[in-house]
Structure 1
């Protein structure tokens, strides 16, 4: 989705347009979630933070000024600032804590480790069903954080072709993982 489209959606959200808000969420939530997950390092916390970010967007959409910046940059700034606020609000470890608390083994148990390995193996097997260039594009986008434009340039394909590759690859991965 182009930045102009996001900017027009934000303008509509500023007028309390719920349909525009749904479109904005669909268009930007994955990118914002990735930003939050990278900063917070915890999937559950990033999911909670994403909902709070979109609440802020709903309340503050009228503050967005397309003349001063890009819509996605504005959305990412809200997400980033919210994530930093959450990190600052975390309780700090004090010097007086019981040292045995520091010695507790926080690693997952054997069962959790086996389940995680099995899930990881399923993801690897499903990634292997993709064509090599599609799999590399998916890894670049969702693990490497590369933009669609950067991937399109890397693979020397048009931008919309890259979007199609990624969308179809994700659908194929979803079907494989659900099977």
Structure 2
């Protein structure tokens, strides 16, 4: 079992422990995921203070809903990354936060979590598979999923940009993600 698989399994176990009320599991989860989740929040919000607040919201949400985690539906880091994305977007929706670039002096303080060479190979293969499966989708669905998940756009922003109702956009993305999942499971 390689390190990435071991880490994923440990994270799954920690979420299960947290769901059963083990408070120490939250610290383990935080240690394993905070740098990555902070990066997601910072990328979407562009403001270090707001990203830190969003990250705190992620762990509060996790504390409340760890019991809803289903390892059959998503890897633990994907599930947590979705929390981070959603909390950051919620902050943007509040209207109190404006997107902006991270000042260079603050960017230098962000922890370097660069993966090892074997992890890069594994990640590259996984990414190639994801992009292959994305190309199998209709262009409008492919574009919507890429924009939502890679650029942090909300469904409302996507619907407005494409000139379609919000429900239609949500359906496109939901059906597209289902097709993407089936393709990835092959």
TM-score by length of 1: 0.53
Deviation at 1:69, TM superposition (A): 1.2
* Structure with larger Rg: 1
Out of 5, 16, 21, the residue aligned to residue 16 of structure 1 is 21
Question: Following TM superposition, by how much is the alpha carbon of 1:17 offset from its aligned partner in structure 2, in angstroms?
Answer: 0.7
Superimposed CA distance per residue, residues 87-118 of structure 1 (whole angstroms, 9 cap, x where no aligned partner): 0111599xxxxxxxxxxxxxxxxxxxxxx89x
| Distance apart, 1:67 and its partner CA | 1.2
Q: Distance in 2 between matches of 1:149 and 1:10?
A: 28
Closer/same/farther in 2, CA of residues 12 and 31 from structure 1, 3 Å limit: same
Alignment match, 2:8: 3
Residue 28 in structure 1 maps to residue 52 in structure 2: no
1:35-57 Cα deviation digits (max 9, x unpaired): 00000000011011111110000
Runs of 4+ off more than 2 Å:
145-154
Question: In structure 2, what is the Cα distance between the partners aligned to 1:42 and 1:150?
Answer: 32
Segments of structure 1 that go 5 or more residues without pairing to the other structure are: 94-115, 124-138, 155-179
Total equivalences in the alignment: 111
Q: Which has the higher contact order (CA 8 A, sep 6+)?
A: 2
Distance apart, 1:86 and its partner CA: 0.7
